[in-house]
Amino acid sequence: MNGAPIAIFDSGVGGLTVARAIAQLLPQEHLVYLGDTARLPYGTKSAETVTRYAVQAARALMHFKPKMIVVACNTASAVALPALTAAYAPIPVLGVVEPGARAAIAATQTGSIAVIATEGTVTGGAYLRAIHALNADARIVQRACPLFVALAEEGWTTGAVPELTATRYLSEMFAGPTPPDTLVLGCTHFPVLVEPITKAIGSGVILVDSAATTAHEVARLLHQANTRREASPTPPTFLSTDAPERFARVGSQFFGAPIDPSQVELVDLTP
């Protein structure tokens, strides 16, 4: 199992922020990343639909015989982890919600935490449960920010449009005498919008991105199972369910390195 890849999937290219963090922390590991761009976004769909999509994505990744599956999508992590764990045991399945919750609890000084995510993640209350499981006294305010996903996918990460959008979404959350001191970016698309988000809420708020915390959890689980890869680094494998050229163009800013469109394989997840 040491030479087997780590499989990662998301509804689009946002999960490449998680893949990037894993690649930086564990450069010797072979990563296989699947972006279900044909059915983006997951955050506006029902839990049943997201679970079905997640199981289909994991099934496609099983062709690579992975040693771990990382669900680099907050919505899928919030609703589909039980089904994925049951379907693909004993392969460990790791989501991004619990690592993000741990990072938020470690970061906050006041116990007041804001969470922004997709509609599905907010409605399902995954971060509420995960944070309160660690600190029952934490005060949490949530807001669904669906337009952030569209802006990130379009590459509109700076300028007037994302700044106005961030102000509209976030100004009320951070108004008042005791605003949250920590903001969880509860969608893997959101880290590329840090600049307009920071302009909207001020630089004094701690931003929590679950990507780095998830990468450390991956490393911990590999060490625990003694399945870390010791060979020389292998370039990642990229899969997309639609428009490989666009996946490569937009995904490069999330992954932090150029992605060659010719290296993105088009796959069909439907039965």
Could you tell me if 133 and 102 are in contact, meaning their C-beta atoms sit under 8 angstroms apart? no
What is the predicted pLDDT for the residue at 45? 93
Could you tell me if 19 and 33 are in contact, meaning their C-beta atoms sit under 8 angstroms apart? yes
Cα–Cα dist 95/83, whole Å: 12
**Identity of residue 195:** E
pLDDT band at 130 (very low <50, low <70, confident <90, very high): very high
- Percent pLDDT > 70 in the chain is 100
| Summary mean pLDDT of the chain | 94
Chain centroid to CA 6: how far?
Answer: 15
What is the predicted pLDDT for the residue at 104? 97
What is the predicted pLDDT for the residue at 153? 83
101's tokens: 């919750």
* Complete DSSP assignment for 113-179: EEEEE-HHHHHHTHHHHHHHHH-TT-EEEEEE-HHHHHHHHHT--SSHHHHHHHHHHHTTTT-SSS-
Burial class (CB in 10 A: 0-12, 13-18, 19+), 202: exposed
**Identity of residue 143:** R
pLDDT band at 18 (very low <50, low <70, confident <90, very high): very high
H or E segment to which residue 198 belongs? helix 194-201
Catalytic residues: 73, 187
What is the predicted pLDDT for the residue at 76? 95
Identify any residues that bridge with 238 across adjacent strands, giving them in sequence order: 33, 264
What is the predicted pLDDT for the residue at 120? 87
pLDDT band at 270 (very low <50, low <70, confident <90, very high): confident
Sequence-separated (6 or more) residues with CB below 8 Å from residue 253:
155, 157, 192
The residue to which tokens 């049943």 are assigned: 48
What is the predicted pLDDT for the residue at 231? 82
224-230 contacts: CB < 8 A, separation 24 or more? 225/1, 225/67, 225/92, 226/2, 227/1, 227/2, 227/4, 227/67, 227/68, 228/2, 228/26, 228/28, 228/29, 229/2, 229/3, 229/4, 229/26, 229/28, 229/29, 229/30, 230/2, 230/28
- 1 pLDDT higher than 80: no
pLDDT tens digits, 168-183: 999 999 998 899 999 9
Q: Which domains does the chain have, with CATH numbers?
A: 6-95+212-266 (3.40.50.1860), 97-210 (3.40.50.1860)
pLDDT band at 157 (very low <50, low <70, confident <90, very high): very high
What is the predicted pLDDT for the residue at 155? 86
- 216 pLDDT higher than 80: yes
- 25 pLDDT higher than 90: yes
- 200 pLDDT higher than 80: yes
Q: What is the DSSP letter of 5?
A: P
What is the predicted pLDDT for the residue at 176? 84
As a whole number of Å, the CA-based R_g of the chain is 18
- Percent pLDDT > 90 in the chain is 87
pLDDT tens digits, 221-254: 999 999 999 888 889 999 999 999 999 999 999 9
pLDDT tens digits, 82-123: 999 999 999 999 999 999 999 999 999 999 999 999 888 898
What is the predicted pLDDT for the residue at 59? 96
pLDDT band at 2 (very low <50, low <70, confident <90, very high): confident
Residues 65-84, mean pLDDT to the nearest whole number:
96
Q: What is the DSSP letter of 12?
A: S
Sequence-separated (6 or more) residues with CB below 8 Å from residue 190:
14, 116, 145, 148, 152, 197, 209
- 271 pLDDT higher than 80: no
Cα–Cα dist 200/203, whole Å: 9
